[in-house]
Amino acid sequence: MLSEYAKKIIQDIISGAVVEEPKNSLTTTRSLLCSSFATNTKITRDFEGQQRIKKEQEQLILRFIEDNSYLEINAIDEKYYLTEGGEAKVFFSLDNRHVLKLNDAVYYNNWLDFLNSLIIHNQIFPDTSYELKGFMVANGVLLAVLEQNFIVSNEDVDLAEVETLLSYNGFEKIKRNDFYNKELGLLLEDIHDENVIKQNGSYFFIDTVFYLNVFKNDV
């Protein structure tokens, strides 16, 4: 069950407030964007407007990287390539205990929505939390470089069990692989057997997509 601390952080994100703790690259970058951009709390279909905002946020992030060189990653060694999907290209980390994911926030309206989703994931699924290592530009595209625990599946995923687990945390299935938490105003999409891993009887959520949908009639 979600702790009150986790709920407070999620509520701060929905309200557009700065997340004071924990202080790390992820929350710091989000705070930067919060200073200039509002948080989306409903589904928007203004594609052109959101793409313009995403570009403006990208420029702000690039300037932030210039001032904080520790966030600049120049290259990822291709020999450690593992796999890729619709949203990320995945590499083994040098320590063999983590993976690095290169993500261009393609599933999100803008970069702030993307960072919000990552922080929410970290609160709800801490066993597979993301660390923002930095950013890189490849072929003119800005990419977030994320580190996550590498977990090997040794059991088949039972989506009925996943549904029960999510229900215990307040997420009710609304259609196919999408879930909604009415208390928190969160939409969780695309929960299928490629985004969830089962190891030794425990489930691990490795790729989640959260949207802030405070009003359920927007779902």
Same domain flag for 172 and 96: no
- The reply to whether 154 falls in a domain is no
Same domain flag for 77 and 175: no
Tokens of 99: 């993976």
CA neighbor of 194 nearest in space, from 69, 35, 88, 110: 88
d(CA 138, CA 148): 21
- The reply to whether 69 falls in a domain is yes
What is the CB-side half-sphere exposure of residue 190 using CA atoms within 13 A? 12
Q: What is the mean pLDDT of residues 10-18?
A: 89
Same domain flag for 174 and 144: no
Quote the Cα angle for 6-7-8, to 5°: 90
- The reply to whether 136 falls in a domain is yes
Give the Cβ contact number of residue 150 at 10 Å.
17
Structurally, how many domains does the chain consist of? 2
pLDDT of residue 51: 87
pLDDT of residue 73 exceeding 70, the answer is yes
What are 90-111's pLDDT values in tens digits? Answer: 999 999 899 999 999 999 999 9
**Which of 96, 123, 149 represents a domain boundary (last residue)?**
149
Same domain flag for 101 and 200: no
Q: What is the mean pLDDT of residues 148-156?
A: 96
The answer to whether the CB of 212 falls within 8 A of the CB of 13 is: yes
Same domain flag for 31 and 109: yes
- The reply to whether 120 falls in a domain is yes
Same domain flag for 85 and 184: no
Same domain flag for 13 and 89: yes
What are 179-210's pLDDT values in tens digits? Answer: 999 999 999 998 998 999 999 999 999 999 99
Dump the DSSP string for 136-195: EEETTEEEEEEEEE-----B---HHHHHHHHHHTT-EEEETTEEEETTTTEEEE--STTT
Same domain flag for 141 and 209: no
- The reply to whether 46 falls in a domain is yes
Same domain flag for 12 and 120: yes
Same domain flag for 59 and 135: yes
**Which of 149, 178, 203 represents a domain boundary (last residue)?**
149
pLDDT of residue 19: 86
- The reply to whether 192 falls in a domain is yes
Confidence of residue 216 (pLDDT cuts 50, 70, 90): low
Element (H or E) spanning 25, and its range?
helix 25-34
- The reply to whether 101 falls in a domain is yes
Same domain flag for 9 and 90: yes
Between helix 111-124 and helix 47-67 the angle, nearest 10°, is 80
Q: Which domain holds residue 48?
A: 4-149
What are 30-66's pLDDT values in tens digits? Answer: 999 998 888 876 666 566 778 899 999 999 999 999 9
**Which of 123, 149, 175 represents a domain boundary (last residue)?**
149
More confident residue, 71 or 40: 71
- The reply to whether 48 falls in a domain is yes
Same domain flag for 165 and 205: yes
Q: What is the mean pLDDT of residues 168-179?
A: 93
